[in-house]
Amino acid sequence: MKHIVLLLFISLLFAGCGGDEFTYAEIETDYGTMKVKLYNSTPQHRDNFVKLASEGFYDGLLFHRVINGFMIQGGDPESKDAPLEKRLGSGGPGYQVPAEIGALHIKGALAAARNGNPEKKSSGSQFYVVQGKPIADAQLSSLEQQKGVTYSEAQKELYRTLGGTPQLDNDYTVFGEVVEGMEVIDKVAAVATQAGDRPVEDVKMKVRIVN
């Protein structure tokens, strides 16, 4: 059953991601490495992530916001060598990326963080990786009504089994997915945190394009 669910995850959740050839990146941490596929259906986010990673922008930055059962977030340039008491989460490269909203927030989704702007433009560098929790049918039905979305039976099954954060659907751009190292999400999400959801011990990243 688990094998079938994972096949559905790859073939159905992220269907319509555009093209047969994809760009991949690795997000390395002390807890392991996540390999992510970047979507062709979100070309502006893909190209921006590739540009920053190729320039070494992310190397040494932190996963500065970690919420177990929800997501792990990083990419704030102000987090590099930041003292533990420094408030993080507002930094960026000085620009935003236009919204390319479509894919769902099932566990392993790579998505762009953003502030509360009406156009739902994304942060130029900050991203999060979804952990989430299994979602009951009643909650999905409620979200369909609240958010005006319709989930297919296959998508509902993924939310039931793999889990995710469907409350974020249609509000944030998902521009990739973890294809290897899913366990790293859980390891990082489980670290001890302080006020503001920052890990007590720094969780640093290094991002590189691998194809």
Q: How far apart (Å, rounded) are the C-alpha atoms in residues 194 and 190?
A: 13
Task: Report the alpha-carbon angle 200-73-165, nearest 5.
Answer: 120
Q: With a cut of 90, say whether residue 7 has pLDDT above it.
A: no
| Residue pair 123/64 in contact by the 8 Å Cβ criterion | no
Q: List, for residues 76-91, the tens digit of each pLDDT value.
A: 999 999 999 999 999 9
Give the phi and the psi of residue 146 in degrees, each rounded to 5.
Answer: -70, -40
Q: Using CA of residue 123, residue 46, residue 199, residue 94, what is the dihedral sign?
A: negative
* Per-residue pLDDT tens digits for 129-149: 999 999 999 999 999 999 889
pLDDT at 13 over 90: no
DSSP 8-state assignment for residue 70: T
Angle subtended at Cα 171 by Cα 165 and Cα 173, rounded to the nearest 5 degrees:
85
Q: Give 23-54 pLDDT, tens digit per residue.
A: 999 999 999 999 999 999 999 999 999 999 99
Q: Report residue 9's pLDDT band, with 50, 70 and 90 as the boundaries.
A: very low
Residue ranges covered by each domain of the chain: 2-209
Cα angle value 103/191/187 (rounded, 5°): 55
Banded model confidence at residue 15, pLDDT cuts 50, 70, 90: very low
pLDDT the model gives residue 12 = 43
Contact assessment for residue 117 and residue 173, using Cβ atoms and an 8 Å cutoff: no
Please say whether the beta carbons of 105 and 154 come within 8 A: no
Phi/psi of residue 109, nearest 5 degrees: -65, 135
Provide the CATH number for the domain formed by 2-209 in this structure.
Answer: 2.40.100.10
Residue 18: pLDDT band with limits 50, 70, 90: low
Cβ atoms 164, 135 nearer than 8 A: yes
pLDDT at position 211, please?
80
For 139-171, give one letter per residue: b (16+ CB within 10 A) or e: ebeebeeeeeeebeeebbbbbebbbbbbbbbee
- Cβ atoms of 167 and 25 within 8 Å: the answer is no
d(CA 125, CA 137): 34
Q: Could you please report the per-residue DSSP string of 89-122?
A: S---SS-EE-----S--BTTEEEE---S-TT-PE
What proportion of the chain, given as a percentage, has pLDDT over 90? 88
State yes or no: pLDDT of 109 exceeds 60: yes
The whole-angstrom separation of Cα 110 and Cα 113 is: 10
